[in-house]
Amino acid sequence: MRGRTRKLIDEIIEKRSGGDPTLATITRTKLILKGIDPDKFDYTTVDDPAVLQKVEQIARNTGVMS
């Protein structure tokens, strides 16, 4: 599968920031501190199962995913 990681990252950033650019930057920084660099992923990147699992866990913790 391709691009699922990026889609989840975008959803996390959108939900946490609510459209506020400052909060989006803070959210991106928090993801980087958790080991997920949003700039390393795009919609054509092949999903690594370990990274996808980590992003899914972050999404569950933020309420993006149930």
- Per residue in 54-65, pLDDT (tens digit) is 999 999 998 888
Domain that includes residue 45, residue range: 4-61
pLDDT at residue number 1: 80
20: DSSP letter: -
Q: Is residue 40 part of a domain?
A: yes
* CA-CA-CA-CA dihedral for 39, 40, 42, 47, to nearest 10: -140
12/59 Cα distance (integer angstroms): 6
Q: Is residue 35 part of a domain?
A: yes
34 has pLDDT over 90: yes
| Summary mean pLDDT of the chain | 94
Nearest alpha-carbon partner for 56 in 25, 34, 24: 34
Does residue 48 contact residue 37 with C-beta atoms inside 8 Å?
A: no
Q: Is residue 12 part of a domain?
A: yes
Q: Is residue 25 part of a domain?
A: yes
Q: How many structural domains comprise the chain?
A: 1
Q: Is residue 66 part of a domain?
A: no
pLDDT at residue number 65: 81
4/44 Cα distance (integer angstroms): 9
Q: Is residue 24 part of a domain?
A: yes
Q: Is residue 36 part of a domain?
A: yes
Where does the pLDDT of residue 44 fall: very low under 50, low under 70, confident under 90, or very high at 90 and above?
very high
Q: Would you say the pTM of this structure is higher than 0.75?
A: yes
Q: Is residue 49 part of a domain?
A: yes
